[in-house]
Amino acid sequence: MACNVNAIFNFFCNTNAAWGIVLETLAAAGIVFTIILIIAFLIMIPRICEPAKRAVVPVQFIFLIGTLGVFGLTFAFITIFTPQTCPTRFFLFGVLFAICFSCLLAHASKLVRLVRGGQGISWWVMLLIVFAFSLVQIVIAILYVSLVLGRNGCATRSNQLNRDFVLILIYVYLLMAITLLVSLFSLCGPCKYWKRHGVFIYITMFLSAGIWVAWIVMLLIGNLLLNSNAAFTWDDPTLAIALVSNGWVFLLGYFLPELCMMSRSEEGCQKDCVAVQPRLLRQTIGVDNRVFSQENINQGETSSGRSSPAPSQINTIPMRDFSIPRPQQRQNPYLHYRSHDLTNM
C-alpha cells in the first residue's frame, strides 16, 4: 500500500516495498546513536589525561561527523533516482567514506609507533593526513559531477552510470587497502595496550572491505542476473544497505570500543608497555639504598673467607655516606673480670 506523498519519496512509507522502511529505521537509529556518542565523547574529553589519546581526539571527532553523514546519505538512496539526487549520490558517497577511512589511517599510523614504545605522530600531522587524503576524493568527485554529469546528465538509470559510480571510487579502494595494511603493522609490537586499538581498526577495515566487495558485485553483476526482467530495481536497496551496514560497523567495530578504552587509567598502559623500555630506563617502584647493598656484599665476602680487595682496587672518589647507623651487639664488659678472678683463684 503506497502512501499519499510525492512519488520520489514513495519508498519511505510503501509497505509493499518494505526495504525502504527498514533501512530508514536503521539509518535513523544510527543517526541518534551517533549523536549520543558525540555527546558522550565531548563529555569524556576533559577526563583524558594521556597525551597519546588526546592527540587522536580531533581525528575521532571528524570520524564521528563522517559516520553521521554516512547514515544521512542513506535517505538519498531510499529516495527514487532523479536528476536532483544523482549528483548528491555521486559526490557524497566517496567523499564521506574517504573522510572515515582517512581518520582510521591516521590513527593506525600513530599506533605503528606507539606499539613499539614510541610517541607516534602528533595531532596536527594526523589532521594533515585526514585533510590531504580526503581532498583527493573531493577533487575527483567534483570533476566527475561538473564535467561528466554536467555534460551527459543522469535523467535515467543505466549500466554506464553504475560503472561510473564504481570507477570514481577507485581512490577509496586504494585508501581502504592502505589503511588495512597499516592496521596490520600496528599489531606488530610488544605493547599490548596499544595493540588493542589496532585490533579495532583492523576488524573495522576487514568488515568494511567485505561490505564493499559485496555491494560492488551485486551492483554490477548480481542484480542484473537476479532481476533480468526488472533491471536496476535493486540497485538503490543495495547501496542503501551498504551505507547502513558500514555505518554501524564504524560505530560498533571502532568507535564504541575506543570510547570504552578512553576510561582506562595510564598506569595500566605503563604496566603493559614496561617490556618495551630498555632495562636501564625502566622506572622501578621505590628507591634502592645502594649503601646497604654494598654492605651486604662485603659481609658476604668476609663470611665466605675471601679477603677484601686491596686498597688500590677501591674507587678513590670520595662518596658521602647517607646510610643509617646500624646497631651492633656489644660484648659483655664483665666477662673479662670473671675470667681474671678464676685464674687468680
What's CA 85's distance to the chain center, in Å?
33
Residue 310 falls inside a structural domain = no
Q: Mean pLDDT by 10-residue block, N- to C-terminus, for the chain (345 residues)?
A: 67 81 95 96 90 93 97 93 88 96 96 88 94 96 88 75 93 96 91 91 96 94 72 84 97 94 62 47 48 52 50 53 62 57 53
Which residue, chain included where needed, has cell 544497505?
Answer: 241
What's CA 48's distance to the chain center, in Å?
15
* Total length of the chain: 345
DSSP letter (8 states) at residue 144:
I
Residues 6+ apart with CB under 8 A from 306: none
How many domains does the structure of the chain reveal? 1
Q: What is the CA radius of gyration of the chain?
A: 34
User: pTM (2 decimals)?
Assistant: 0.76
* Whole-angstrom distance, CA of residue 80 vs CA of residue 95: 21
Which residue, chain included where needed, has cell 560498533?
Answer: 252
Residues 6+ apart with CB under 8 A from 324: none
- Side-chain-side CA neighbours of 328 within 13 Å: the count stands at 4
Q: How many CB atoms lie within 10 A of CB 10?
A: 17
Residue 277 falls inside a structural domain = no
For residue 334, give the amino acid letter: Y
Closest to 7 (Cα-Cα) out of 103, 82, 72: 82
For residue 11, give the amino acid letter: F
CATH number of domain containing 185: 1.20.1070.10
Q: What is the pLDDT of residue 278?
A: 46
CA dist 40 to 46, 229, 256, 258, Å? Answer: 11, 49, 11, 12
Residue 252 falls inside a structural domain = yes
Residue 88 falls inside a structural domain = yes
Cell of residue 336, nine digits: 673479662
Residue 303 falls inside a structural domain = no
Q: What is the pLDDT of residue 11?
A: 81
Q: DSSP states of 19-45 as a string? A: HHHHHHHHHHHHHHHHHHHHHHHHHHG
Q: Provide the domain limits for residue 11.
A: 7-262
Q: How many CB atoms lie within 10 A of CB 168?
A: 20
Q: What is the pLDDT of residue 182?
A: 96
Q: What is the pLDDT of residue 246?
A: 97
Q: What is the pLDDT of residue 231?
A: 60
Residue 344 falls inside a structural domain = no
* Whole-angstrom distance, CA of residue 264 vs CA of residue 272: 12
Residue 289 falls inside a structural domain = no
Residue 331 falls inside a structural domain = no
